[in-house]
Amino acid sequence: MATVNTKEKAAPGPLTAISGEQSPDNNNIISYPGQKSNSISIFCNKIPQNDNDLSYMQTISMDELYENVYMQAPPLIEGLLYAGTYLFVGAPKVGKSFFMLQLAFSVSTGKPLWNYSVNKGTVLYLALEDNLGRLQKRLYGMFGTDSTPDLHIATESRQFGKGLCEQLKRFVEEHKNTKLIIIDTFQKIRPGENGNYNYASDYETAAELKGFADSIGICLLLVHHTRKQQSDDKFDMISGTNGLFGAADGAFVLYKEKRGANKAVLEISGRDQPDQRIMLTRNKETLAWDFEKSETEFWTEPPEPILEKIAGFVNADSPEWTGTATELIDLIGTDIPSNAVTKKLNACASRLRDEYRISYKSSRSHDGRKLEFCFEGET
């Protein structure tokens, strides 16, 4: 069983960036797919196999894993929605499509969704069960004449496995700042004959769509229906087998306690976020969903003192700092060993960028390891 030597190569050769640019040999920054940088963009959690030897498995040790910086895509909606593939599930006519328009408008304009901050980007909304006239009426009723050029809508597309991914890839290539693609509904693009689906086919379809979203670093939101059977666990109500939920990064379930009520509950579960339960009220005039309350506190990561101290001297007044880990320790006054400081910074690089707008790079030269920080400015 062979082991990846990350000290000699930042990332395995077969998974180089779409841009084709190679990172410097001494740069161990590995960017998320879709990131605008000079670093290699790869499937960050993928390790290539040797197809010529079926007994060969390439691995990476924990020590070597900490030698690299794996940049993650910034949250799409802080505390709510991240890059990856999610299901958005609800009963027919419960208000899913109105919620999708509300979500798409927030992301494409950068306006907060309720009390959640948004990372602005281009949105593609495949409204495959609607027509342009109905969409115009809904959008006008929800937002008036407030409009944006960064929300793109299509009412027709190819199916998955029959050209859909090629269409989506072309759109992303033509709209470089794409952050969200909504497919409403998943059933419209879903392969299969006569509705005969099983766990394996559900998992394979969701996994391939997830692979596509991960490869370009976006959020792919699949609108889907709930089954008629009730369950105490609302995520068991996702139509189809558990294969869909198992392969996705997370799911949202929108449901009403009473069919005719204007109140609904939004339950959220994801791989890298705490479960949430949010109470919503339907606005009678705009038909948009208003935030009422959350039964779970807004979750944020606990403070990381070393990041706060770095932000104290890397800022608009002093935007750059370069030095060794030992010099950094002396500057911030900590007793953490130098190798532990580097590992901590490698693991927290995305957080340093998202919370403090500071980019971080760690590289090795003949003089030893060098740390570089640069203040990127306000968003």
Whether residue 68 sits in one domain with residue 208: no
**Domain-located, residue 219:** yes
Do 341 and 325 form a contact (C-beta atoms < 8 A)?
yes
pLDDT of residue 362: 87
Whether residue 243 sits in one domain with residue 104: yes
Name the β-bridge partners of 325: none
51-57: long-range pairs with CB below 8 Å, 24+: 56/1, 56/2, 57/1, 57/2
Cis? peptide before 205, omega within 30° of 0: no
Whether residue 134 sits in one domain with residue 273: yes
Please give the structure tokens belonging to residue 76.
Answer: 């799409």
**CATH code at position 338:** 1.10.10
Instruction: Among 72, 99, 131, give the residue marking a domain's end.
Output: 72
Collect all residues with Cβ–Cβ distance below 8 Å to 55 and sequence separation of at least 6. none
**Domain-located, residue 41:** yes
Whether residue 92 sits in one domain with residue 152: yes
Whether residue 57 sits in one domain with residue 120: no
Instruction: Among 294, 311, 329, give the residue marking a domain's end.
Output: 294
Whether residue 56 sits in one domain with residue 19: yes
Side chain identity at residue 42, one-letter code: I
pLDDT of residue 60: 92
- Give the residue ranges of the chain where pLDDT is below 70: 1-51, 192-198, 227-243, 245, 298-299, 378-379
pLDDT of residue 228: 59
Collect all residues with Cβ–Cβ distance below 8 Å to 294 and sequence separation of at least 6. 276, 277, 278, 279
Number of domains in the chain: 3
CA 42 to CA 216: how far, in whole Å? Answer: 9
Tell me how crowded residue 348 is: count the other CB atoms within 10 A of its CB: 18
pLDDT of residue 208: 86
**Domain-located, residue 347:** yes
* pLDDT digits 0-9 by tens, 8-66: 333 333 332 333 333 334 456 666 665 644 332 333 445 555 567 888 899 999 999 99
Instruction: Among 21, 49, 72, give the residue marking a domain's end.
Output: 72
Whether residue 235 sits in one domain with residue 109: yes
Tell me how crowded residue 142 is: count the other CB atoms within 10 A of its CB: 17
CA 353 to CA 356: how far, in whole Å? Answer: 6
**Domain-located, residue 62:** yes
Whether residue 246 sits in one domain with residue 117: yes
**Domain-located, residue 47:** yes
**Domain range for 46:** 1-72
**Domain-located, residue 113:** yes
pLDDT of residue 375: 95
Name the β-bridge partners of 289: 282
Whether residue 254 sits in one domain with residue 320: no
pLDDT of residue 236: 55
Whether residue 267 sits in one domain with residue 130: yes
**CATH code at position 122:** 3.40.50.300
Tell me how crowded residue 260 is: count the other CB atoms within 10 A of its CB: 5
Instruction: Report which of 112, 101, 39 is spatially closest to residue 77, judged by C-alpha positions.
Output: 112
DSSP run (H or E) holding 181: strand 178-184
**Domain-located, residue 79:** no
**Domain-located, residue 78:** no
Whether residue 120 sits in one domain with residue 139: yes
Entry pTM = 0.79
Whether residue 277 sits in one domain with residue 339: no
